[in-house]
Amino acid sequence: MAKVVVLHSGGLDSTVLLAQMVAMHGSDQVESLGVHYGQVHAKEMESALEVCGILDVRRTMVVMSMAHDFFGDCALTGRDSSAIPDGHYSDDTMRSTVVPFRNTILLALCAARATAIKAEVIAMAVHAGDHAIYPDCRPEFLSAMDRVLMCGDYKPLLLDAPFLNYTKAQIVEVGVKCRAPMGFTWSCYKGGHVHCGTCGTCVERREAFIKAGVADPTEYFQTPPIPLRP
Amino acid sequence: MAKVVVLHSGGLDSTVLLAQMVAMHGSDQVESLGVHYGQVHAKEMESALEVCGILDVRRTMVVMSMAHDFFGDCALTGRDSSAIPDGHYSDDTMRSTVVPFRNTILLALCAARATAIKAEVIAMAVHAGDHAIYPDCRPEFLSAMDRVLMCGDYKPLLLDAPFLNYTKAQIVEVGVKCRAPMGFTWSCYKGGHVHCGTCGTCVERREAFIKAGVADPTEYFQTPPIPLRP
């Protein structure tokens, strides 16, 4: 048993991770950390709060304010959500959703909070599907961050990324096993009232439930056939 | 010549660094980045703006909002500024001014901004006097962060920390050479109208000017004899 701070966006992956950590360590040993960095899909923050209520986990937030172009022309944090591309998550166009050094920022804040509450572990739900598109989801990056966490404060912190080599379908399977409230999670990058069903993360989400053979609890605006991966 | 983002608090060290970078690369190639993480000594933010005006450098800000105890019982971000200890910077009591993983957070934001504006270099004014008390000011930490900056995004970033082995007195000497507006900088952790003259950073500041043999342009509330280092 350990005390753990989980990077928790309110999305599918990090909610399954939170539920798994609660199953392993108990809800009083787990804290959910949310970071708002200007993402237009702020709806996941509401989902995160609901999930924390269901799992009886303490939620902590950091809200960052900066100029809308602080992260460059990233579609995730820009003012024009119509710029969010449709199609497969691994498509080249999805590069526009890269927030530079996002995971470095998130892990740094998570490490700070973990040190403050004397937690030994920080956990993040990075998974295999992310590697291709996001440099800061690759094993090399995590091992580099590991070194920072070993020497960045008086006590070393452990970085747990149990889904690093999982597909999203495998994460859904873990979610079923640890009774994660997957129906309350939010993935869509477009920030509508229901999941759009066509943006990169929606397509990936739909596909994951199908591949896992698990009924998808999500309400989608539309569910056109999922395009074959290029 | 390169494009550089400088972590710039408005304090003495980072202002000298900013002036040095401007002297080396030109003011249009340099951006000053400030991060507000709840520190009570927000007065340095005003100093930073004044300095940027004088040096004709663009200033960018990130303001982070979080619970007052997010960083634990750190005196720098707490609600009670009377908790800021007096005496030498290296005293054990100054441990209470440690913001866990502060430099990791700051460097991550700086790296994100550098990537966004296609800068090749990020620069920070960490110096030898910081090593003893802050784990994230030590050479091991910077080399660990270096690896993160090499693989955290599509293009590697260079981390420049030219004062790493300098004393604060040597930084003052550099400041004179590159005409840094040192009189406009702010060091005091207590957040009053003028520098208190007795907190750890004020003592260190006074000492640096004396050792460098440079007239101190700072107005202090009081200037009792500087205690001998224990």
Asked if the structure places residue B201 within a domain, the reply is no
Question: Considering only alpha carbons, which residue of chain B is nearest residue A137?
Answer: B152
Q: Does A71 touch chain B (CB under 8 A)?
A: yes
Q: Does B141 touch chain A (CB under 8 A)?
A: yes
Query: Considering the entire predicted model, what is its pTM?
Result: 0.90
The answer to whether B110 and B7 are in contact (CB under 8 A) is: yes
Does the pLDDT of residue A139 top 60, yes or no? yes
Asked if the structure places residue B210 within a domain, the reply is no
Q: Spell out the long-range contacts of B174-180 with Cβ–Cβ below 8 A and sequence spacing 24 or more.
A: B174/B16, B174/B20, B175/B12, B175/B15, B175/B16, B175/B19, B176/B212, B176/B214, B178/B16, B178/B19, B178/B20, B178/B22, B178/B23, B179/B19, B179/B23, B180/B15, B180/B16, B180/B18, B180/B19, B180/B20
Measured between beta carbons, the chain A residues lying within 8 angstroms of B7 are: none
- What pLDDT score does A75 carry? 56
The one-digit pLDDT tens for each residue of chain B (230 residues) are: 789 999 999 999 999 999 999 999 999 999 999 999 887 667 888 999 999 999 999 999 999 999 988 998 765 565 555 555 666 655 555 555 678 999 999 999 999 999 999 999 999 999 887 666 778 888 889 999 999 999 888 889 999 999 999 999 999 999 999 999 999 999 887 878 899 999 888 999 999 999 999 999 999 999 999 876 65
Handedness of CA B119, A138, A70, B34 (dihedral sign): negative
- What pLDDT score does A192 carry? 81
Measured between beta carbons, the chain A residues lying within 8 angstroms of B112 are: 70-71, 99-102, 104-105
Residues 6+ apart with CB under 8 A from B193: none
A37-77 pLDDT tens trace: 887 667 888 999 999 999 999 999 999 999 988 998 765 55
Using CA atoms, how far apart are residues A203 and A212, in angstroms rounded to an integer?
14
Asked if the structure places residue A116 within a domain, the reply is yes
Contact at CB, A150 and B138, closer than 8 angstroms: no
Asked if the structure places residue A178 within a domain, the reply is yes
Domain with residue B32: its CATH number is: 3.40.50.620
- As for the ipTM of the complex, it is 0.89
Q: Does A102 touch chain B (CB under 8 A)?
A: yes
Using CA atoms, how far apart are residues B43 and B172, in angstroms rounded to an integer?
21
Domain that holds residue B17: 4-79+101-187
Does the pLDDT of residue A146 top 80, yes or no? yes
Contact residues, B window 5-24, toward A, CB-based 8 Å cutoff: none
Q: Which of A7, A104, A122, A133 to mutate to test the interface with B (most CBs of B within 10 A)?
A: A104
Asked if the structure places residue A192 within a domain, the reply is no
Burial class (CB in 10 A: 0-12, 13-18, 19+), B69: middle
Find the CB nearest A135 among B113, B116, B152: B152
Find the CB nearest B116 among A70, A105, A148: A70
Asked if the structure places residue A88 within a domain, the reply is no
Residues forming a β-bridge with B160: B123
Measured between beta carbons, the chain B residues lying within 8 angstroms of A72 are: 115-117
- What pLDDT score does A77 carry? 59
- What pLDDT score does A128 carry? 81
Asked if the structure places residue B59 within a domain, the reply is yes
Asked if the structure places residue A14 within a domain, the reply is yes
- What pLDDT score does A137 carry? 83
Q: Domain total for chain B?
A: 1
**What are A75's two structure tokens?**
């579609």
DSSP string for B46-67: HHHHHHHHHHT-EEEEEEEEE-
